[in-house]
Structures are given as structure tokens and as C-alpha cells.
Structure 1
Amino acid sequence: MWISPAFHLKVIRAYDALVTQQPHPGAIDIRDPKQLAIVALQLVEVNRDLQAKVDTMQVAVDAHHRIAKASAGSRCVTDAAKDLQVRPKDLFSWLSANRWIYRRPGGSGWLAYQDRIQAGLLEHKVHTVERPDGTDKVVENLLVTPKGLAKLAVAFRTPNAA
């Protein structure tokens, strides 16, 4: 059986280290202040990375706290704007600019894009209203779901809201 010289040398060095009880090449000597300083610096860097992740997640946590204060269930866009502490006009503009809602040519009401409905962010509620002349009129209401409100709260987060 043939063994490569490089592998043979690794085995001999590992055996020598084991017999003489030398530390493993990747091991840290806790008695060496230089190695401890390097480890401490690495831990500080890892801590910074984790803090950045926590800060990013805090945005979502704050948004959920704001939504928890609001009542459960879907809300009209105006009430959603109140919950988000933004002007209704600004929310309608943002929703339109970001392809959440649109108006049909000649139509008066806002409609949700189908992908936003399928994602569970918006929904439509249909009501039948009786006109003064006795005829019925179908009225559609655009509603923001709790999931949609959470997503909007992240987009419209304010520093003083918690």
C-alpha cells in the first residue's frame, strides 16, 4: 500500500504534537495575551454584526407594536393612515406610486392590484347600498389587512412611534 509523503508527514507531525502535548495549530493559548486580544477584537466585531441585525429587526418589532395598538381586522385606507400616523393623502399617494392601488379610467374608487390581494396585503369588501330612488348600488371598499398594515408600518416607520 502506497502512502503519499505529504500525508505521511502530516501524520508524523500530529503524532509528535500529541506526544509532546503541544497545542493544536488552531487552538488558542489562553495564557498568551496577544491571542486573547485577537479573540477579543473578533468578538467585538461579531457583536457589532449582531447588533446591526438586531437594529434591523427592531424596525419590524416597532411596526408590530404600532399595529398591536390598532384594532384587529382589515381597515380602510384612511383609518390605516391614522394608525400609521401619516396623512391619508400621503398614504394614498405612496400606495399608488408603489403599485398597491390604482384607479380605472373614469372610475372614482381605488382598486387593489391583484398581486397585493393574493399576498394578503389588501382586500375588497363589496356592499349593496340602496339609493334614495329605491335602486341598489354596489359599492366596493378597499381595505388594508393586518399583514398589509405591518408591511406599511415598516415603510412608514417614524422614530417616535413604538
Structure 2
Amino acid sequence: MNKLYLKIRPEGSGNFQPALTTSKGMHPMSAAKKLISTNSTSLTILTTAIRQDAQGRYCLNDCHKASGNEASKRPGVWMDNAQTKALITELTDAGIPASPSETDAGIPTSPVSSIKGGTNQGTYVAKELVYAYAMWISPAFHLKVIRAFDAMMQVSSTVEATPVLPKTYAQALLAAAHAEQERERLAGENAVLAPKAEALDKLATLDGVHNLRSAAQQCGWPEKIFISRLMELKWLYSHTVSGRKLAYADKVKAGLIEVKNVEVKRTGYVEGVGQPMITQKGLSQLRILLGTYIAPGKSAPVPFSRPKEAAS
């Protein structure tokens, strides 16, 4: 199945127009993020909006501004701290959660990134480092940062529950990419569930319980091979003396097999024996467990067959 991709290609002189493509060169999530290198976020600390870069890191310069812009508390001073360097090393070694775009592109997210020049210049760090920076500034500011993140998460939960129409072309591309990923996920689930649905559909019109011969016919398997498979699956076992096939107690308790008492004529007497009978529930599970029987040397599966009258 082709995936949606975003490709940036020149249109005319110096202008760039984003376009959909099925090229494997770039994932739409990564490409759309590149259209907007930084974006504002709902994280606000003491009325100061904290910017984020394309990988979701937070701007320490904005946090410094929110704390009061004290020169001794600049991000650069904190970054030179030995404890800060140790924390960055720990995050780098352990790995931090990557944004969707980075995960799809197979690129790990660094905990620290710097943008030099332009309107979005500054030092951008992972959330864990924002907490650590705020704690370094003061306990009071640390508490304000914690509460700001909590408020952002509450707003985010509310926004996610309300569908929003895309306002820009880049947002529309991102929405299309999400929709394509969801379709692929559902297609994968359908591929797994289809055999189960087929098994239930084929058994839906059958009634009652079935002896082993009838059950084998219902599942499309030769009787002897069918019984052997049931013994392998621990549904049946052979009596040590008579060799008769008996049902395991747990399968009877689960409603997969019923035991029907039948009379067998012996020389001079009649013996009552328990005959295992496969229930509808059992047949449904067996169709899934066994799948379709393919005869040796055959490539095409043996067609599903209707049974003859079940023996009493």
C-alpha cells in the first residue's frame, strides 16, 4: 500500500510549494514539521508563551524570560554547570521520547538543540531539562513550571477530544498522513481478524454438537489427521486400555466438548461409553486453530465441505 508523503519542490523562481508524493524519500510528518521549523505551544509560564522547535523541545530562553530575566540565571550559565552536563549525558545515553516525526524518520531526538540566528534563535531542551532548569532558578519558579505543564496537559486533553478542521495546507497534509496511518493500522487488524470471521461465518448455520467424524468434515480435515491434531492440542487423549478417544476435562468445562453416553454392544452385554462431541463453540475455535487443510503435494486448499448426518 502506498503511503502519503510530503515533498518540497520549487515552483517558479524562489517559491516553494508543498505537494503530496508516494516517494520513499521523506515521511509526511517529518516534511510538514520542516515547513514550520518552530511553533508556539500552549505551554505558558507567568504569561510568557514558551516556544517549541520541530522536535518538541522547549525554549530555555523563554523560560528565562518568564523567570525574570536575571543575568545570573541565563541558560548558558546553567548549561555550564557540571550537574547539568551530567543530566544531559544521562538523557542522551538513556534516550528520551522522540516526536512522531523523528520516530518515523528513524532519527533519535537529542535532549538539547541550539538555533543560531533568526527570530527563533535560542536553546531548546527536553521537558526533563526544563524542570531541572526551573529548579536551579528557584523553588518558587520550579513550582510554577510544574503547574504550567499540568495546565497544558489538561488543555491538550480537551483539545484532542474536539475535532478541528485544518487551517493551513501543511495542517491538511498532516491530517491526511494521520488518516493514512490509521487506515493502514485498521487494514492490519482486518488481516488478522479475517480468518476468525470466516470461521464463524462458515459455522454460523450449523446446529448442535458433532462427533469426531462430523467435526472433521466441518473443519475440512481428514478424520484421522483431525483427531491426531486434537490430541496434539490436548483436546483428546487415548484410554490406556481400550484406546478410545476421551476428552480432557478442561475442554469439557470450557464448553468446547460435550461427552455423550452411548451404548456399545459387546459379546453377551452392552457397555455404556462416553463419546466426545465437539460443540459449536469448539468448532469455531478449531477452525481458527487448525486453519485450512492442504493435502500433501497440493498448493490449493481443500474446499470447505458440508457434513453428512452426524452419527448418533
TM above 0.5, yes or no, is: yes
Q: 1:137 aligns with which of 263, 271, 280?
A: 271
Counterparts of residues 143-158 of structure 1 (less than 5 Å):
143-158=277-292
- Residues 47 and 106 (structure 1 numbering): CA distance in 2 closer, same or farther, change over 3 Å? same
Q: 2:182 aligns with which of 35, 46, 52?
A: 46
Tell me the TM-score normalized by structure 1.
0.76
Structure 2 residue 245 is the aligned partner of structure 1 residue 115: no
Residue aligning to 2:47: 9
The one-character-per-residue Cα deviations of 1:131-156 (angstroms, maximum 9, x if unpaired) are 453x2211221110000000001123
Do the aligned partners of 1:121 and 1:144 also contact (CA within 8 Å) in 2? yes
The Cα RMSD (Å) is: 3.0
Cα distance between partner residues in 2 of 1:66 and 1:9: 64
Q: Which structure 2 residue ranges, 5 or more long, are not aligned?
A: 1-43, 50-154, 293-300, 306-312
- 3-state SS of the aligned residue for 2:202? helix
- 3-state SS of the aligned residue for 2:275? strand
Do the aligned partners of 1:66 and 1:84 also contact (CA within 8 Å) in 2? no
Cα distance between partner residues in 2 of 1:150 and 1:32: 50
Residue aligning to 1:20: none
Task: Give 1:97 shift.
Answer: 0.7
After the TM superposition, which of the residue ranges 94-103 and 32-41 deviates more from structure 2? 32-41
The one-character-per-residue Cα deviations of 1:71-95 (angstroms, maximum 9, x if unpaired) are 3111011111111111111211111
- Residues 110 and 130 (structure 1 numbering): CA distance in 2 closer, same or farther, change over 3 Å? closer
Cα distance between partner residues in 1 of 2:261 and 2:170: 71
Task: Give 1:102 shift.
Answer: 0.5
Identical columns (%): 22
Tell me the TM-score normalized by structure 2.
0.41
Q: Whose relative contact order is higher, 1 or 2, with alpha carbons under 8 Å and at least 6 apart?
A: 1
Do the aligned partners of 2:166 and 2:175 also contact (CA within 8 Å) in 1? no
Residue aligning to 2:115: none
Residue aligning to 1:36: 172
Q: In the comparison of the two structures, how many residue pairs are matched?
A: 145
- Residues 10 and 143 (structure 1 numbering): CA distance in 2 closer, same or farther, change over 3 Å? farther
Cα distance between partner residues in 2 of 1:52 and 1:146: 28
- For 2:249, give the aligned amino acid: Q
Structure 2 residue 203 is the aligned partner of structure 1 residue 67: yes
- For 2:272, give the aligned amino acid: V
Larger Rg: 2
- Residues 73 and 35 (structure 1 numbering): CA distance in 2 closer, same or farther, change over 3 Å? same
Q: 2:211 aligns with which of 76, 92, 95?
A: 76
Task: Give 1:96 shift.
Answer: 0.5
Higher normalized helix content (fraction of residues):
1
Task: Give 1:51 shift.
Answer: 1.6
Do the aligned partners of 1:102 and 1:111 also contact (CA within 8 Å) in 2? yes
Residue aligning to 1:19: none
Cα distance between partner residues in 2 of 1:128 and 1:153: 30
